[in-house]
Structure 1
Amino acid sequence: MTEPTLSDFEDDTAIFKATGPPDHWLTTLNTGIWGFASDNESSWERVSAGDLILFHSTGSDTHDGNWDSGIIGYGIAGTKRTKEYPLWRSEVEAGENAFPYIVELTATHWRGNIGGVSGAEIGEKSHEQIHNDIESLLQNRLTLGEIEEETGSRFPVMGSFSSPSDGQQHLRLLQSEPLTTVRYRNRDVEQAESADEPETASQSFDHLRKREGITLDGDALFDDLYFDPDERRRIQSAVESAVQSGKHVIFTGPPGTGKTELAENTCKALLHNDQYTDYQISTATADWSTFDTVGGYMPRDEAGGSLDFVPGQVLERLPNGDHARNELLVIDEINRADIDKAFGQLFTVLSGQPVQLPFQQAGSEVEILPADRVDWSSQPASHEYVVPESWRLLATMNSYDKTSLYEMSYAFMRRFTFIRVGPPSGDLEQAISKYVELWGIETTEPDEAAVATVWRTMNSHDRAIGPAVVKDMLEMMSAMEPATIEEKTTQAVASYVLPQLEGIPQRKEIVQQLFETRVDESVLRQVASEVLQVPLE
C-alpha cells in the first residue's frame, strides 16, 4: 500500500505519540482502536479527528517478553467514544475495563509484516501465537537509536501519551520505508453491504473465456447525446476498434463535451455481449491510493476478528473464487488521482503480466492473473483475481490538466486508446437548436443566439467549452424570464463561463472579447475583476 506523506496533511495537523506494549498494538491493528485509562481522560480530550498518532511500542509485552522499543506505525484519529468492555490483553486477563476512553482510527499505517499477524481476538491466542504475531508486527520498526542518530535528539518514551516536539521528523523517518495501510469499518456496515450482494456461487465461468465477437450497439453509444454525423462516425469507429483490439479507453477533451456520458454509454453499448455482467462508475480523487483501486486489509468488526483482504475498485470488478463477474469499470476524471500512488501494481496488470500482492486471502498470497494464465475448466481460487481478455477499463480525462498524462508510464499508456471528444464546430446556432430539442429546454431564439455568440468566442481560444456548459447557461436564462437578454446573458456568463477561465494566461483577452457579446459590460467587468483577479480598464 502507498501511505500518505506529510504533504497530504495540513500544516497544522497535530501529531501525538502513544506508548503501549506490543501485544496491545496487536489489538489496535485488528480493531483500529486506541484506549486511555480513567486517569488519562484529559489526554483523550486533546485528540481531534484528523490528528496523527505515532505508535510507540515498549520493549516488553504484558507478560515480560522482551523486544527492542521503537515506532512501529501511525494512525489517523477519527471519532472518540467510551467503551464498557475489556479489549486489550491486560484487560481481558484481568476482566476489567481499564481503558474506557477510546479513539477510533480511520486508518493505520505499519512498518511490520502485517500479513503475518493472526486476526484472532487476543483472548483466543496462545502465548506462542502472540509472540509470533509480535515478531511480525515489530519487523522493520524504527528504533530509538535510529531516531536519535537522524534527529540528534531522543524520542520521548516516558508517559503513555504526549505531543513530541519533533513529531514531523519522526513521521518522515517512519515513512522512509514502505508502510502497509489498514482501514476500518464496523461489522454492521459490512453485513448490510453483503446482504445486498447477489448470490454468485456455482456460476458458470464459460463466458469469461471469450474475447472475440465483441460488438457495439451504436444507438446506445449516443443515447441522450448529439454529435454531427461526421463526429459521430469518428467516435463510434474509434471506440469499436479500441474494444475489439483489446485496448482500454480514455476519453479526453474540454469540460462539458460529454466524456462521462460517452464512457457510461460505451458500457451500456457493450452489455448485450454475454462476456459482461455489469458496469460500475467511480470518480477519482487526489486522495486515492492503491487501497482504493487494488485493495488492502480491513478488520471485520471493531471488537477484533479476522484481518481480511478487501478488493478495491478494480479487483471488485474481476472474477475470483465463486464470483463469475466481469464488470466494466469507468473512472471519471482519472487525472484527479496521483497516477503512481493510485494505480501501483495496476501498471503491471494492464500490461498483461501477473502480479502477486503483499496481502493474504484464505491463507494464500493474493494474485492478479491474466486470462491466459488460468485454466478455465475449473473456477479460480478465492485468492486469485483474473483479468478476462474481454474486460475493459474506461476513463475520462480533462484535457485542460494534462499533467497526469505525462506521468503515466509507456507500459500503462500503450494499453489505452485516447479518444478526443471536442466541442462542436461550424454552425453553433444549428447545433444549439439540436441540443435544445434533445434536452427538452424551453428557450427563445434570442437566448440561443446570445449563447451561441458566447460559445463561439470561447471556442476561438484554447479554452473551449462543451455543450454541458451551454445547457447550464440556457437553463439559467430560461428561469430568469422576464429579464432582458443582457441581464440573462451576463448572469449566465458570470456563473458558468468565467470560472472556466480561472488561472489561464489569456483570461483578460477572452473577457474583453466577451464584452462584445450581449452582456452588461459594467456588471461583467466588475465580476470578472473579482473572480479572475485581472485589471480590466
Structure 2
Amino acid sequence: MSGDNPDIWLVVGSIKHWRFGLKNGVWGATEGMRSMWGDDPRKGDVFFFYVSAPVKGVVGYGVFEGMGLKKEDKLIWEEEKEEGRSIYKHTLYFSNLRSIVGPDAPDGEWIEKCIGLDQCRGLVNRAFTRVRKLECIEELKRCREHVDALKDAFTLDKPNYVLLNDILEKPIVSKRAEVDFLGDILKKESEEVVSRVKLVLAHVVAGKNVVFYGPPGTGKTRLAILVCKLVCGDDGYSLETANSEWGHYDVIGGYRPAAEGVEWVDGILTRAVKRCRERLDRFGRPYWLIIDELNRANLDLAFGEAFTLLDVEYRDKPLSIPGESVFVPYCFRIVATMNVYDRSLLFSLGYAFMRRFAFIEVPSLLRFETVSGSQPGEVKIEDVGGERLEEAEKLKEVIRESVVRQMKLKRGNDFAVVFRELAEKDIRRELEDCLKKVRVGDFDFLDVLLMFARKATDLNVVEIGQAMLIDAAKFILAYYMLFPEDVGVWLVDEAVVAYILPQFEFFMPQLRRAKVFEEKEYEERWKKLIGLASKLGLVKTAGLLETAEARLRMI
C-alpha cells in the first residue's frame, strides 16, 4: 500500500460464516491464511466479501479498521463450535460495511441478489487475496457501485466493539488519553508546529473552517497541507489559489457551451464536497479544500448563498446545483491562508464570513512566543454584573445545550466532530467534566467567556452575540476531548483570541479616530478591556489588545 491509496482485498467464506461476520463487522483468519498475505492489511483498505457455494458471488464490502488475536477459549465461529477448538486465531474488523442482503435474509435471497464475478473468478479459490490486477480491481469497484446504489442495502457503521473487547487478547477500544489524534506525520515536526496543529484539530472538531494568517514565508500553506494530510490522508485534499476574478462559476459552478447547447461544470467547492462524500463512503475519511490567499477573492460574490453552508449547523440544505441534491458533509472543512502584508487586498472578509472561520496567526519564528499563561488576579462577582447573575446562568444553559446539540450532529458515518472516536463519546458528560477542569478560581470557562463578552458589549466596543460564545465553548470542549491532559486557562485565552478578538476589527476605525482627534473615551474603553483580560489571566488576549492599539489593526 502506498500513501493513502487503499489496497483491495477479496475474502471468501461460507454463508453461515458471513451471517455472523456481517452482523458484527468481523472476519476470522487462520494462521495458514495469514502466512499468505505478505504485508498485513492497513487501516482504510477495502475488503470485498465473497460467499462460496451455493451463493457464489459478492454480497458487500467493508473498510478495514484493524486486527487482533482472539483468545483461545473464545469459540465464535460455527466450525470452532463444532470442533470445540479455536481455529480462526486472527480477527479482522470493519467499519462502513455495506451488503446487498442483511445477515438474517434467507439463503434464497443471498443466491438471487449476489454479484457474480468474471475477471476475479480465479481468485475465489483462496480464502484471502490482495487484488493486484487492474481488471479485477475495476470489476470489484463496479460491485461497490452496485451496492452503494441500493437504497435498502444493509449497513453497519462500526464493528461490534463489545464483542471484540470480549474475544480479543488486547482490547481495541482505547481510553481517551491513549487515543493518538496526531499520528506519525508530526514526529519530525518542531514543538511550535505540533502545538499549532493541536489547536487546528480542536477548531475543526468544533465545526470551524480555519484561516492561517501572517506575513509571507512563515509556512502557512505548508501548515494547511500538513493538517489536511493528518486528517484526510495524502490525497484527501485539493489546493486552489484565490484571485480577484473568482465568481460563482469558479466556486459553485455554472454552464458552459457544449456540442449540443450547454453543460453544467462544477466549481472548486462543489467538486471538493462531492469528493468528500465519495471518500466517506469508500474509506471513512473526509476530503478538504485548501484555499491559498483567501483574501484576494471577492468572497461574497464568489460564494453567494452557499457561504451559509460553511456553517456546520446549516448543512441540512443542499448546494444549489441543477438536477442534483448535493449536501455538504458535516466533516467537510475549508483550510485557508491569508497574507497580512498584502495591504491592497487585506480585510475583504465580511463579518458573516469571518464568523465561520477560526483565525490562527502564523508569525515568523523569529518572534514566536510560547504563551504559558499566568495566575489570574482576583475576579469579583461585579465583573459579571451581580444584578444579572440569574440572566447569565440562563445564557450558560443555552450555550451548554447548543454545544451538545451541534457537536452531536451526524449523518451515517459523517460526523460534525470529524473523528468517529469523538462521536462515540457522551458529549454532555465530556462538557460537564471540562467545565470542572478548565476554571479560573471559582469560575468555569463559560463564566470567563461571559465576563469578557459582557464587558466588550457594555463598553460599546463590539456587540458579542451568543453564537461566538457557543463557538468558543465548542473549541474548548473539542481540545479537551482530543488532548485532556493539556488544558488550562491558556485554552480559554486561545478561544477568545480565535473567536472573539477578530470581531474587534470593526472597532478599529473608532480607535484610529481617537488617536487622530485625541478622543480619550475610546482609548479608555479599550484599556478597560485590557485590564479585565489581565485579571482573568488571558495573557495572550491582553497582549494582542495592546498590540492592536499600537498598530490600529486586530489581525
Q: Where on the TM-score scale, by shorter chain, does this alignment land: which range?
A: 0.3 to 0.5
Structure with bigger gyration radius? 1
- In the superposition, the TM-score normalised over structure 1's length comes to 0.32
Higher helix share: 2
- In the superposition, the TM-score normalised over structure 2's length comes to 0.31
